[in-house]
Each structure stands twice: as C-alpha cells, then as structure tokens.
Amino acid sequence: MSFRTNLVRARGHIVFLVALVLGLCLVLWLERLGQMPVADTTADEQQIQIAPNAEWEQDLMATFENVDPLPLDIRGLSSVKDLDDAKIAWKYFQNNTDPVTGLVNSANNYPSTTMWETGSYLIAVLAAERLGLIDASEAESRIGKVLDSLKKIRLFDDMLPNKAYNTRTLELVDYTNKPSAKGLGWSALDIARIIASFGLVERNHPDLAPKVEDVMDGWKLSEMVKDGELWGANVREGKTVENQEGRVGYEQYAAKAMMLFGYDMYRAYEVRDNLMIKEVDGEPIPVDSRMHRGVTPAFVVSEPYLFDGLEFGFDARSQRFATAVYKAQEARYERTGQLTAVTESHLNVAPYFAYATVWGGGAPWAVLSFAGDRMDSKRTLATKAAYAWNALFGTDYTRKLVAGVASTADPEKGFAEGIYETDGTLNTSITANTNSVVLSSLAFKLDGPLMRAVK
C-alpha cells in the first residue's frame, strides 16, 4: 500500500489533530489578550492591573507576604480627650434609644433601623461599659430590652429579620420607613453583623446568653448559609429571589461572626477563589473579582477591616489586608496633601448613602452609589475611619486624621459622618454606625478587641 493511499485514509485523524493544535493556539492567544493592563487617564485613577499569569495563579496570597503588618496600638489607658470624645459619641445613643422597644434610630431622630445598625448599638453599649460611661447593670438592661424586641418582631416570610424595622412600632418597613406588608427580604450581611454583636454580648455578659440563644432559635439561619456561603433575599415583583451576598472584606468579617455559632463558612472565609489585586498608590489592594449587583466591579472600603480588628482582633491575613488598605490612604495623602480616610457613609443629601472606595467600579478612589453610579464630589473624610485607624495603628498620620475630623463633634448630638473633601463642608448626617465605631475605637485603645475578656 502506497504512502499516498495511507495518507488519504488517515486524513480524518490529521484534520482532528490540526484543529486541536489551532484551537490550543487560539485559547493561549485570547488568554494573553485578556491579561493586558488597563490604564486610566486621570491622575487620581492611575492603577496597575496585575494580570493572572502563571506566577500569580500559583498563589495570589503570596503578594501579601511582602506587606509588613502594622503593629496594633493597644495602650491600656484612656486620655482625657478619649473620655470626652466617648461621652459625645454616647450622647447619640442617649438621644436616639426608644424608651419602649429599646431599639436605636439608624440616623438622628429617624425611627428606623436595620440588623446592621442594631448590632452597632449593642457593640456601642459594650464599648460604653468598658469606658466607664455606664455600669454593668445599665448595659444588661439596654441589651436585654433589645433582645426582648428582637424576639417580638415579625420575620420576613417567618424565616429571618426583614431588612428594616420601625424602632417605635417594630413594624416591617421599606427604606422610606413606611409599613410593608410583605417586607423587603433579608440581608445576610446585616444579620451576620448582629450575630457578631451577639457573640460579643455572650462573651462579655454570659448571663444574657440564654436570651441571645432564644432570639437566634427563632431565626432560620440555615436559610442564609448554604454550602459555606451567605445568601440574602430580595423581593422582585412580589416574589422572593435569593442571591449570594458578600465580597472580599465584608464576606470574611461576616463569616467570622457566623462561625462563632458553629456555622460552616469555609467558602465565605476563603478568599483565593475570588481574589484579584489592584495596585493603588503603591499598595497591593485585595479586590473581589465578582461584580457588585451584576453592574460594577466590587469595591474596597475601610469598614470591614475596621470592624474585624476592633471587635474580633485581626488574624494574620486580615491584618495584612488592613495594613495595605490603610497604607494606600496614607500614600494618597502624601501624594496629594488631602487627608484620606474612606469608607461607606451616610450623606446629608441625595442619594443619602455612598461608598467612598480605595478601589471600586473599575478605578481607584471612586465614590459610588449602591447602584454603582460615580459621585466623587461626595467623597467624605470619614469620622469613624479616622478614629478606628488611629485606634488600631496609632501612627502620625492617623493622629492627623483624628485632628482633621474635630469639627464633626457635637456635644449635644454626637459625631457627624465627616467632612466633604471637595469643599471642606460638614457632612452633617449623624448616625448610629459612626458613633458606635468611635466608641469601639476608644474602647480598643483601652482594652483591645471587644472579644477579649477584661480582667
């Protein structure tokens, strides 16, 4: 049989092999194309996109081995100014606690709350007790009243707390504080936030543990923990639609909270599967590779790292992540002369809430609405971020931050959210979250994380 005849008979195999080689070449070319760095043109949006080449794919976490974690600044004492500031922050809760339900308004004189802000209130009570602003009996009374109300609230679909409640009536409400027959759904992150506060309550007041457990027994927490991840629920056209919640930073904080009570949060606590790195002002910033609301790349703010350090105490990974996020803000100050302490904040103008990011929406230092719209004119030097970074790391720069937000203190109302960067005017919104963080920051300087028992 001739060579030519054999070649003709083998033509099918040859075609397959050629197609296979060409297909492999195409895949490699497309992968290389997808790794091209993206450059932005504005000075404040210069960034380096670190492509997922073979070296990074081996272990993105290796990047942070080169980040020297800043030492914690637990001082074991409170200055006169610390105590004066603590009294101002506690004034917010004295003014905004409902005498009947025991719940606290999310914003000054606005009778609505979420599980996130209710958790913030419980943490504020524990911090105020440590600072000597209230005694143990008042702390237990305040916490007990909150737990009694949480036992009474109507749950969304008889499963989990609704996204918002009226602090006076305990009714399910929408985000305008109007009664809602069905409710809005549940936020897994918000619920994890109050679960974190429950863990801290049990640690600091074990006598309240039965009340805490009684509340939790009425909540079907397994509905929001699935395959090691957090799942929330929204109402769309009258139907309940569930979705995975949490991005790098927030997700790990929430995972720690749920693990306190025995829930499997392995996938939420792990970061490698959803991690990418963006270089911002010379620092490697941990960014989630998943989209936010399917609209814009996920954002990085200070908040979850502040909570982790102040409440639980950092682990080795979160301390390195927090150090990088903090140092990028310090580096921006050194580059621009603009004091920078960014996180999520309420606003005193529409849309009344924004995420001032280290990186978000595809660019560094973007300020975003919840829907992902840019609104950089509302970047706020955040009071809570200034106090918390100073408590955690106590650097020359963090002391400048605290001095920079001095004008936000109102002895009759509490601390305002911060100062708008563009014109130096006050962001006059006054909230439970900001005043809670100020208190937990000052308590951290005295005794360290709230999870640590006080001797």
CATH number at residue 382: 1.50.10.140
The parent domain of residue 424 ranges over 49-447
Please count the structural domains in the chain.
1
Residue 294: per-residue pLDDT? 73
User: Is residue 159, in this structure, part of any structural domain at all?
Assistant: yes
User: Is residue 26, in this structure, part of any structural domain at all?
Assistant: no
Burial environment of residue 49 by CB neighbours within 10 A (0 to 12, 13 to 18, 19 or more): middle
User: Is residue 134, in this structure, part of any structural domain at all?
Assistant: yes
User: Is residue 156, in this structure, part of any structural domain at all?
Assistant: yes
Helix, coil or strand: residue 236: strand
The whole-angstrom separation of Cα 45 and Cα 362 is: 9
Q: Which token pair is 89?
A: 């922050």
Entry pTM: 0.87
User: Is residue 314, in this structure, part of any structural domain at all?
Assistant: yes
User: Is residue 303, in this structure, part of any structural domain at all?
Assistant: yes
User: In angstroms, how far is CA 248 from the centroid of its own chain?
Assistant: 9
Main-chain dihedrals φ then ψ at residue 258, nearest 5 degrees: -70, -30
Cis peptide before 351 (omega within 30 of 0): yes
pLDDT tens for residues 264-321? 999 999 998 899 999 999 999 999 999 877 777 889 999 999 999 999 999 999 999 9
% of the chain exceeding 70 in pLDDT: 87
The list of the chain residues with pLDDT below 50 reads 1-8, 10-22, 24-43, 45-58
Q: Which token pair is 42?
A: 């504005």
pLDDT tens for residues 75-119? 999 999 999 999 999 999 999 999 999 999 999 999 999 999 999
